[in-house]
């Protein structure tokens, strides 16, 4: 990624640079710590680019660590998809993949240490009772009746919890901090609970599992993380992060730094709600191209370079980070503008018969006007061609520069053509155009008149059928989960996917899955990574539409 744009300065970079300059750290170690309970989404992409990007820019290291402390919701499928996503985005973690479960023995030993210090106790309050005892934002909590158990009793009970003597949920281990703290996270938080659930890595070895807040800070310390970067909802958890590390003989004390999470308009980033879309078959899966998941964006045809540029452009701060979808689409469009070949395709075909075909010739055309190294192909001309139905109007609006009866346009890379007749079916629909070419206009302008319009087309004899999937935003409103009185599924866009049978140039016949093209005047498209078959069934997903500037180009 040596050609990446210059990083944008932000407050976390400033902290890192100051720490390196002062000698506080000789090098930095960051981490990306997802829970393997779903596929990663665009918000995770921002975090990946931040953590891995900092490590790259400052010659440090970045770990990939799975927070696998909630076994009921986790799976190998999710863990594998996360690794695939990180690599696809262009990053590689340092060494082996890390797992919170790697540290279960150490976490248990540290919990015993807290009990021996009198800083953790086994509590038997029910969840409802615990909530009642916790207090509110304005009222202090009350001490649990089990808070003053002896060290010996707590040790005995905790060992028996580990050994499976008690029912799920009947007991927890709590940190003994301060029930009157203004920060509710410090009101004796639970650090272990009993949960008999099969774990994807440790099987049935454990029936007690550590809580995230307790696990995360110790895992960071054991890995030598220097800067533990997380989103703002964890800001109130930082005192607990620091408290745990201050009580224990851990090798180092990482610095937790929070930044604002990414909220993208016209979509959702709640894993629970994304899972709901999948489970209810509202989308075809986690990698449905309408999903804001990294795998969905990949399948749609978004480029890793475009996503990295999006993360760079939106920046890192502590302020609200709600971004319009057009910013992401703009980054993808700009990236593909320079890197993908251009071909012609027709998605709403209207047949045109050339009545004076005669000795008409085909012409060679380059795959990109600014990249001759992309090569060229012959665009075959034939007596019958397809044009886009939208490029013809019987009664054209003011300023119309496409076909109408009696009007002329240039066929891209070919002749100027005049529409002489529109053929209709019994219902009055236009089903065919009879047109004539100006034989002196191949590669040059006509004499004595100016033809402004340029349209794309395909030879009927040479074009290949293709399934074209046109994607739009998944929701009809900018904040689909912003209305607390309505379910977010009420705002699903019924037109988020339109599947049409179109035609493409034969030169794309053997395109591999995930090959990207600009279909001229229609948008950027990508061969579907699952359903597209080179040399067989062709399936293209529209990644993003074009800016309306193509019409200014000349044929």
Domain with CATH 3.40.50.620 in the chain: 11-96+215-263
54 near 12, Cβ under 8 Å?
Answer: yes
| Cα–Cα nearest to 122, from 162, 172, 164 | 172
Adjacent-strand bridge partners of 62 = 30
**Looking at 31, 35, 308, 388, which residue is catalytic?**
35
For the chain, the first-to-last Cα distance in angstroms comes to 36
Q: What is the pTM of this model?
A: 0.94
Q: Topology of domain 11-96+215-263, per CATH? A: Rossmann fold (3.40.50)
Q: How far apart are the C-alpha atoms of 473 and 167, rounded to whole Å?
A: 47
**Looking at 65, 134, 174, 261, which residue is catalytic?**
261
Domain with CATH 3.90.800.10 in the chain: 103-210
Domain with CATH 2.40.240.10 in the chain: 265-300+464-504+509-555, 345-459
Q: How far apart are the C-alpha atoms of 453 and 388, rounded to whole Å?
A: 13
| Cα–Cα nearest to 184, from 140, 146, 216 | 140
Look up the CATH number of domain 103-210.
3.90.800.10
Adjacent-strand bridge partners of 379 = 363
Three-state DSSP at 308 gives: helix
Q: Return the number of other C-beta atoms located less than 10 Å from residue 516's C-beta.
A: 20
Clarify whether 394 is annotated catalytic.
Answer: no
| Cα–Cα nearest to 457, from 503, 492, 420 | 503
Clarify whether 162 is annotated catalytic.
Answer: no
Look up the CATH number of domain 265-300+464-504+509-555.
2.40.240.10
Q: Topology of domain 345-459, per CATH? A: Ribosomal Protein L25; Chain P (2.40.240)
Per-residue confidence of the chain (555 residues) as pLDDT tens digits?
Answer: 656 788 889 999 999 999 999 999 999 999 999 999 999 999 999 999 999 999 999 999 999 999 999 999 999 999 999 999 999 999 999 999 999 999 999 999 999 999 999 999 999 999 999 999 999 999 999 999 999 999 999 999 999 999 999 999 999 999 999 999 999 999 999 999 999 999 999 999 999 999 999 999 999 999 999 999 999 999 999 999 999 999 999 999 999 999 999 999 999 999 999 999 999 999 999 999 999 999 999 999 999 999 999 999 999 999 988 899 999 999 999 999 999 999 999 999 999 999 999 999 999 999 999 999 999 999 999 999 999 999 999 999 999 999 999 999 999 999 999 999 999 999 999 999 999 999 999 989 998 899 989 999 999 999 999 999 999 999 999 999 998 899 999 999 999 999 999 999 999 999 999 999 999 999 999 999 999 999 999 999 999 999 733 333 334
- Residue 335, H or E segment: helix 325-339
Q: Return the number of other C-beta atoms located less than 10 Å from residue 37's C-beta.
A: 19
**Looking at 271, 298, 300, 312, which residue is catalytic?**
271
Clarify whether 142 is annotated catalytic.
Answer: no
Residue 348 corresponds to which tokens in the numbers above?
A: 């709403």
């Amino acid at each position: 990624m040596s050609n990446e744009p210059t990083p944008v300065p932000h407050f976390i970079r400033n902290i890192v640079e100051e720490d390196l300059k002062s000698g506080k750290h000789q090098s930095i170690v960051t981490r990306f710590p997802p829970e393997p309970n779903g596929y990663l989404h665009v918000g995770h992409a921002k975090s990946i680019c931040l953590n891995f990007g900092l490590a790259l820019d400052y010659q440090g290291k970045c770990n990939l660590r799975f927070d696998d402390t909630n076994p009921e919701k986790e799976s190998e499928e999710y863990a594998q998809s996360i690794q695939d996503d990180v690599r696809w985005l262009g990053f590689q973690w340092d060494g082996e993949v890390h797992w919170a479960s790697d540290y279960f023995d150490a976490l248990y030993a540290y919990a015993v240490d807290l009990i021996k210090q009198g800083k953790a106790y086994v509590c038997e309050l029910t969840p409802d009772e615990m909530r009642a005892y916790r207090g509110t934002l304005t009222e202090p909590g009350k001490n649990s009746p089990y808070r003053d158990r002896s060290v010996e009793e707590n040790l005995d009970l905790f060992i028996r919890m580990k050994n499976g003597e008690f029912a799920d949920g009947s007991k927890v281990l709590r940190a003994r901090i301060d029930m009157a703290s203004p920060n509710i996270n410090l009101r004796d938080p639970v650090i272990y609970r009993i949960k008999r659930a099969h774990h994807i890595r440790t099987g049935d070895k454990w029936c007690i599992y550590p809580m995230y807040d307790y696990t995360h800070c110790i895992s960071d310390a054991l890995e030598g993380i220097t800067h533990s970067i997380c989103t703002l909802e964890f800001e109130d958890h930082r005192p607990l992060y620091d408290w745990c590390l201050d009580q224990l003989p851990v090798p180092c004390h990482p610095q937790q730094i929070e930044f604002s999470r990414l909220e993208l308009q016209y979509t959702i980033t709640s894993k629970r709600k994304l899972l709901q879309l999948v489970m209810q078959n509202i989308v075809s899966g986690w990698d449905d191209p309408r999903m804001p998941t990294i795998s969905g964006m990949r399948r749609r045809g978004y480029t890793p370079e475009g996503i990295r540029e999006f993360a760079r452009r939106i920046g890192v701060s502590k302020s609200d980070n709600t971004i319009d979808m057009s910013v992401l689409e703009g980054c993808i469009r700009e990236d593909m503008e320079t890197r993908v070949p251009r071909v012609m395709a027709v998605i709403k075909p209207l047949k045109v018969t050339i009545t004076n075909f005669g000795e008409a010739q085909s012409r060679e055309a380059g795959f990109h006007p600014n990249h001759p190294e992309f090569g060229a192909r012959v665009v075959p001309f034939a007596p019958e061609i397809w044009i886009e139905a939208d490029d013809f109007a019987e009664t054209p609006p003011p300023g119309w520069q496409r076909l109408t009866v009696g009007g002329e346009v240039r066929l891209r890379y070919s002749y100027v053509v005049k529409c002489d007749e529109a053929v209709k079916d019994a219902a009055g629909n236009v089903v065919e155009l009879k047109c004539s070419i100006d034989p002196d206009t191949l590669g040059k302008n006509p004499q004595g008149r100016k033809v402004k319009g340029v349209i794309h087309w395909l030879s009927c004899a040479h074009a290949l059928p293709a399934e074209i999937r046109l994607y739009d935003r998944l929701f009809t409103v900018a904040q689909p989960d912003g209305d607390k009185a309505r379910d977010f599924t009420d705002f699903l866009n019924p037109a988020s996917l339109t599947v049409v049978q179109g035609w493409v140039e034969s030169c794309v016949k053997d395109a591999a899955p995930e090959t990207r093209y600009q279909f001229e005047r229609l948008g950027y498209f990508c061969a579907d990574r699952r359903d597209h078959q080179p040399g067989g069934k062709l399936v293209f997903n529209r990644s993003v539409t074009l800016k309306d500037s193509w019409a200014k180009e000349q044929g």
